[in-house]
Amino acid sequence: MPGYANNPPRNSHFPQAEVPAVHLQDVSKHFGSIEAVNHVSFHVVGGSIVGLVGSDGAGKSTLLRMIAAMVRPSSGTIQIHGLDAASHKTGIKPLIGYMPQRFGLYLDLTVEENIEFFMDVFGVFGAERAKRKERYLGFSNLLPFIDRLAGALSGGMKQKLGLACVLAHEPKVLILDEPTNGVDPVSRQEFWGILGQMRQEGMAILISTAYLDEGEQCDQLVLMHKSRVLEVATPEAVQSHYSSLEEAMIHRIQEVDEGLMHEQFGL
Amino acid sequence: MNNSGSDAVMVEDLEKRFGRFVAVDKISFAVKKGEVFGLLGPNGAGKSTTIRMLCGIIAPTSGYGRVAGHDIFSEPEAIKHAIGYMSQKFSLYEDMTPYENIRFYLGVYEVPQEAWKERIEWVLDMARLQDVRYRITRELPPGWRQRLALGCALLHRPEILFLDEPTSGVDPITRRSFWEFINTLAAQGVTVFVTTHYMDEARNCQRLVMINEGKIAAMGSPSEIIAEVFPCRPEADLSDVFIHLMARRGE
Amino acid sequence: MNPVIIKAIARKEFYHLVRDFRSMYLAFMIPLLLILMFGYALSLDVDSVRTVVVDHDKTEVSRDFVRKLNASSYFEITHHLNDSSTAVRYLDQGLTTMAIVIPPEWTEDLKADRTASLQVLIDGSDPNFAGISRGYITAFVEAYNRDRLISFLNRKGMEVIKPPVDGRIRVWFNEDLDSRNFIVPGIIAIIIMIVGAMLTSLVIAREYENGTMETIRSLPVGGGELLLGKAIPYFLIALIDVLVAVFMGQVLFGVVMKSSFSLLVLASTIYISVALSLGLLISIATKSQLVANQMAILITFLPSLLLSNFVFPVGNMPRIFQLLTCIIPATYFIDILNGIYLRGLGIAHLWPSYLVLVGMLIVLSNIGFALLRREGM
């Protein structure tokens, strides 16, 4: 067992020194005897995109679900804008927008009815409602399809609608779990365009992805493997002398489990 | 094999209409034996329709095509025995074990009984699933299920392997080992036909066809296509080409 | 409990409902069909018994007997036949339900004070109907005997004597013995179970199947808000169905309530809520629309139909089923409705049934709520 647990991640300097939007301190999660997330610490500040990359089954989804207050950590603390995620579950939900891996939209509802449902739940009414609908559906180029049933949208459009829905209550922290799986490059580019815009507006964005060309667009990368964080650094620092981010990541992971490549799913 | 020359797949003016909607609009291309060939396009461009016509699952509206020497209009059943097909959904029975899945596909592909034992061991070794052969497939990690699905598609030793978005949602490490294996297969003479919209997968292909709205937008090796679309931008890559060619489409 | 969130969920659920053809059909068409079917086709009453007569006697007396038979509203003489074998053939082919054979010398026997026998053949393939027909003809023969006796005594110049015991039977609560009066309350109970429990058994399972449960959980929606929001559209539909059933019962079948309408609305409100909590509970527990639907049929619809004293009298059932009826909500609801429709009872008499229903509601909704909480809502 390599000694990464005691090796604190190299935190590079973040531009701002205020209270971080997301702060994880020594967070672990066990399901029975299986360790899904093992002593993870890092933070995300407003106005930045942090990418969560790593092998399948590394614990990325579990980590994101804990940050979104969907499951409680077994130990450690998660703070969202200074509020403890476990004890202030209802308090932090308005602060976050979470798009799970298989984000469920209501396919028998139209584009407009879907986003209106999210605004209903968060109590967004009146002039603000129309404004946000215009803004977030506009961002996603979905305004021409406002009356189309969500079930009749292409995969890429569905994901953009999902993003518009979780943005509609204007959260401070955006948590996205592999949002671009199965999405074509054109829609992916539009998707990342929206994320860039949100970053500029000061949102803290945490996104997991299996695609390292997306990893390159993040401000920070969190590299996870076998429930542990191997590294927290900028994409450039992670890549270091390797020819590509993918190459660098595969080498890091191989270092960890010497020769056990591909078999790292935790049987 | 009959006299279809060196082409594993060949189509001319292939067309598929659903009512008034033209899903595939008179496309023509050819895939050489032992080639890794990519069919690229955004969601809804006609990729799946094309691959389903080539695999004998649906009949084309018009045109001409041969797969593994068999006519796609008149001999779809012969085609199904000559090819292996793996879709993004992996088409496995998730409530059965890998062993049971393999046995099912051996039966479906009419592999002779005497070869079963040897094929089962071969697939389990190849997919590194020996230890989990009696576990329920649903419980296996996505990367392992992917290897099992690939193994099942190869059980009858097909000449051509069709992969429909094979690595959607699997991690970069698994993806890399998947492609290493595909390249080994190609080196052994198996023709590999892949649809994808991930450009890092497309880079593994020797030749590509990009389609958009049922029509061919570009054809050639990755470097040829880049040079053709962006003659003055040596730093451009396939993603840039793709976005340039596909950006304008009516959804 | 935030009303804004409940409204958001209810509105969304309403969209699902109107977009889903099958749900709409179940919500509106099935209740209508049930009312019409039970009201018209499945009436449990026997209006008139189709009868054929074979008169071998052919006298004034026998013809008078047949005339009297036909004049009563209980029998409808369709054919006069010449021999018994034809009558048997009519019975075999289902052309008639009853055959009456008057033997030769019937009048002679009567006049000679010998017992004059009358042959009556009844089609027993429907025991219920056969039993009723038998009752009718027995009563008719007894009345005929009495009339003959009285006229005989009169002719002899004797005083009209009164029969020693004159059983004056009066049916209470349902004077006409019209089974429609009984069917309408039963129908209402079943409609509510269909709309309330079978429809709602799908709604949470649907969220799980479509992966939208994860979405809901990521939103600031509490378990109570989710359940309440989902229940509201179905509650309204079930209430509309009840009112339609009451209205149709009155207009089409002339079934009129004897006591207050508000008591009926109160009972329906509670019973609908019980059905909704049961449906939602099934939905949470099964997480699959298919299983939920099967469960709903098995544990809500069928018992309401079979064990609620509606179609089959509970008194004739084995003890174990009699005990089972005690835990079926429909039993209490039908009890209340019978009280309202047939007996004209008020809350003073009906409160125990109301109380049981309220108790069921509290138990079921709390189990559902607890299950959702265990799922992390």
Which one of B168, B199, B251 has the shortest CB-CB distance to A185? B199
Q: What is the crossing angle of helices C180-192 and C261-286, to 10°?
A: 40
- Smallest CA–CA separation between A246 and chain B, in Å? 7
Is residue B206 included in any domain, yes or no?
yes
Planar angle of CA C20, C24, C29, nearest 5 degrees? 150
pLDDT tens digits along B142-152 = 778 888 999 99
| Chain B neighbors of A178, CB-CB under 8 A | 169
Give the CB-side neighbour count of residue B8, counting CA atoms within 13 A: 21
Note whether C30 and C69 are same-domain residues.
Answer: no
Q: How far apart are CA B123 and CA A175, in angstroms?
A: 39
| Chain B neighbors of A191, CB-CB under 8 A | none
**Cβ separation of A108 and C20 shorter than 8 Å?**
yes
What number of C-beta contacts closer than 8 Å exist between A and B? 90
Output the domain CATH number for residue C98: 3.40.1710.10
Note whether C100 and C34 are same-domain residues.
Answer: no
**Cβ separation of C211 and A117 shorter than 8 Å?**
no
Instruction: Give the pLDDT score at A132.
Output: 95
Instruction: Give the pLDDT score at A267.
Output: 33
Instruction: Give the pLDDT score at B68.
Output: 92
Which one of C207, C211, C218 has the shortest CB-CB distance to A70? C218
Q: Is the pLDDT of residue A7 over 60?
A: no
Q: Where are the alpha helices (DSSP H) in A15-71?
A: 60-67
Instruction: Give the pLDDT score at C126.
Output: 76
Note whether C287 and C225 are same-domain residues.
Answer: yes
Torsion of CA C252, C254, C255, C258, to 10 degrees: 140
Which residues, in sequence order, are bridge partners of residue B195?
B39, B164
Best to test chain C binding among A29, A108, A165 (most C CBs inside 10 Å): A108
Of C105, C120, C155, the residue that ends a domain is C155
> What average pLDDT does the segment A31-56 reach?
91
- Smallest CA–CA separation between A1 and chain C, in Å? 34
Number of domains in chain C: 2
B143 near A CB under 8 A = yes
B200 near A CB under 8 A = yes
pLDDT tens digits along C211-262 = 898 888 888 888 899 999 999 999 999 999 999 888 888 888 777 777 788 8
**Cβ separation of C12 and A108 shorter than 8 Å?**
no
**Among B residues 70-109, those touching chain A with beta carbons less than 8 Å apart:** 88
Instruction: Give the pLDDT score at A265.
Output: 36
Q: Which chains touch A (3 or more CB pairs under 8 A)?
A: B, C
Note whether C136 and C247 are same-domain residues.
Answer: no
Note whether C218 and C363 are same-domain residues.
Answer: yes
Query: Strands C49-55 and B207-212, how do they pair?
Result: unpaired
Give the CB-side neighbour count of residue B210, counting CA atoms within 13 A: 29
Q: How far apart are CA B1 and CA C50, in angstroms?
A: 80
Planar angle of CA A133, A135, A136, nearest 5 degrees? 70
Structural Rg of chain B based on CA atoms: 18
Note whether C338 and C191 are same-domain residues.
Answer: yes
**Cβ separation of C7 and A120 shorter than 8 Å?**
yes
Q: Which chains touch B (3 or more CB pairs under 8 A)?
A: A
**Among B residues 161-190, those touching chain A with beta carbons less than 8 Å apart:** 165, 168-177
| Chain A neighbors of C11, CB-CB under 8 A | 117, 120
Is residue C172 included in any domain, yes or no?
no
Is residue C170 included in any domain, yes or no?
no
Instruction: Give the pLDDT score at C168.
Output: 61
Instruction: Give the pLDDT score at A213.
Output: 85
Q: How far apart are CA B161 and CA C234, in angstroms?
A: 52
Look at residue B243 and give its three-state secondary structure.
Answer: helix
Comparing A6-20, B208-222, C17-31, C120-134, the range with the smallest average pLDDT is A6-20
> What average pLDDT does the segment A138-157 reach?
90
Is residue B42 included in any domain, yes or no?
yes
CA nearest B212: which of B1, B27, B8, B10? Answer: B27
Identify the band that residue A148 occupies on the pLDDT scale cut at 50, 70 and 90: very high
Is residue B86 included in any domain, yes or no?
yes
Instruction: Give the pLDDT score at A12.
Output: 42
* C302-to-A28, C189, C295, C305 alpha-carbon distances in Å: 49, 12, 10, 5
Look at residue B11 and give its three-state secondary structure.
Answer: strand
% of chain B at pLDDT higher than 70: 95
Which one of A189, A212, A264 has the shortest CB-CB distance to B243? A189
Q: Is the pLDDT of residue A263 over 50?
A: no
Comparing A73-87, B51-65, B207-221, C117-131, the range with the smallest average pLDDT is C117-131
Identify the band that residue B251 occupies on the pLDDT scale cut at 50, 70 and 90: very low
Structural domain harbouring B50: 29-92+159-246
Q: Within 10 Å of residue A226's Cβ, how many Cβ atoms?
A: 22
Of C102, C124, C155, the residue that ends a domain is C155
C-beta separation of B80 from B105 below 8 A: no
pLDDT tens digits along B172-181 = 888 888 888 8
Residue listed under structure tokens 């060196």:
B6
Best to test chain A binding among C20, C214, C377 (most A CBs inside 10 Å): C214
Output the domain CATH number for residue B187: 3.40.50.300
**Cβ separation of A182 and B142 shorter than 8 Å?**
no
> What average pLDDT does the segment A156-174 reach?
93
Q: Contacts by C124-130 with C-beta closer than 8 Å and gap 24+?
A: C128/C44, C129/C46, C129/C97, C130/C97
What are the per-10-residue average pLDDT scores of chain C (377 residues)? Answer: 90 90 85 80 67 89 88 85 88 87 87 84 81 84 83 74 61 56 79 86 90 87 92 93 87 78 91 94 92 89 78 76 85 88 83 94 94 83
Is residue C346 included in any domain, yes or no?
yes
Identify the band that residue A127 occupies on the pLDDT scale cut at 50, 70 and 90: very high
Instruction: Give the pLDDT score at C259.
Output: 74
C-beta separation of B152 from B101 below 8 A: yes
Maximum separation of any 2 CA atoms in chain A, in Å: 60
C-beta separation of C347 from C368 below 8 A: no
**Cβ separation of A104 and C12 shorter than 8 Å?**
no
Chain A residues near any Cβ of chain B (below 8 Å): 53-58, 145, 154-157, 178, 181-187, 189, 210-213, 246, 249-250, 253, 261-265, 267
Phi, psi of C61 (to 5 degrees): -65, -45
**Cβ separation of B177 and A261 shorter than 8 Å?**
yes
- Smallest CA–CA separation between A166 and chain C, in Å? 9
Comparing A14-23, A200-209, C244-253, C261-270, the range with the smallest average pLDDT is A14-23
Phi, psi of C93 (to 5 degrees): -85, 5
pTM: 0.77
**Cβ separation of B165 and A182 shorter than 8 Å?**
yes
Question: What token pair was written down for C105?
Answer: 């010398």
Instruction: Give the pLDDT score at C280.
Output: 94
Chain C residues near any Cβ of chain A (below 8 Å): 4-5, 7-9, 11-12, 15-16, 19-20, 207, 210-215, 217-221, 376
Note whether C317 and C201 are same-domain residues.
Answer: yes
CA nearest A141: which of A91, A183, A194? Answer: A194
The DSSP line for B55-103 is TTSS--SEEEEEETTEETTT-HHHHHHHEEEE-TTTT--TTS-HHHHHH
Identify the band that residue A217 occupies on the pLDDT scale cut at 50, 70 and 90: very high
Question: What token pair was written down for A80?
Answer: 């969202």
Number of domains in chain B: 1
**Among A residues 52-81, those touching chain C with beta carbons less than 8 Å apart:** 68, 70-71
| Chain A neighbors of B210, CB-CB under 8 A | none
| Chain A neighbors of C212, CB-CB under 8 A | 104-106
DSSP state of B193: E
% of chain A at pLDDT higher than 90: 58
Planar angle of CA C352, C357, C363, nearest 5 degrees? 125
Structural domain harbouring C282: 3-42+178-374
Is residue C225 included in any domain, yes or no?
yes
Would you call C61 exposed, middle or buried from its count of C-beta atoms within 10 A (0-12, 13-18, 19+)?
middle
**Cβ separation of A103 and C211 shorter than 8 Å?**
yes
Q: Is the pLDDT of residue B191 over 90?
A: yes
Residue listed under structure tokens 């021409």:
A144
Query: Strands C98-102 and C75-81, how do they pair?
Result: unpaired
Q: How far apart are CA B77 and CA B68, in angstroms?
A: 12
Is residue C54 included in any domain, yes or no?
yes
**Cβ separation of A181 and B169 shorter than 8 Å?**
yes
Instruction: Give the pLDDT score at C138.
Output: 86
User: In this structure, which amino acid lies at residue B248?
Assistant: R
Note whether C188 and C257 are same-domain residues.
Answer: yes
- C with A: touching (≥3 Cβ pairs within 8 Å): yes
Instruction: Return the HEC string of chain C.
Output: CCHHHHHHHHHHHHHHHHHCHHHHHHHHHHHHHHHHHHHHHCCCCCCCEEEEEEECCCCHHHHHHHHHHHHCCCEEEEEEECCHHHHHHHHHCCCCCEEEEECCCHHHHHHCCCCCCCEEEECCCCHHHHHHHHHHHHHHHHHHHHHHHHHHHHHCCCCCCCCCCCCCCCCCCCCCCCCHHHHHHHHHHHHHHHHHHHHHCCHHHHHHHCCHHHHHHHCCCCHHHHHHHHHHHHHHHHHHHHHHHHHHHHHHHCCCCCCCHHHHHHHHHHHHHHHHHHHHHHHHHHCCHHHHHHHHHHHHHHHHHHCCCCCCCHHHCCHHHHHHHCCCHHHHHHHHHHHHHHHCCCHHHHHHHHHHHHHHHHHHHHHHHHHHHHCCC
Note whether C299 and C192 are same-domain residues.
Answer: yes
* B117-to-B50, B105, B114, B124, C143 alpha-carbon distances in Å: 35, 13, 7, 11, 89
Maximum separation of any 2 CA atoms in chain C, in Å: 98
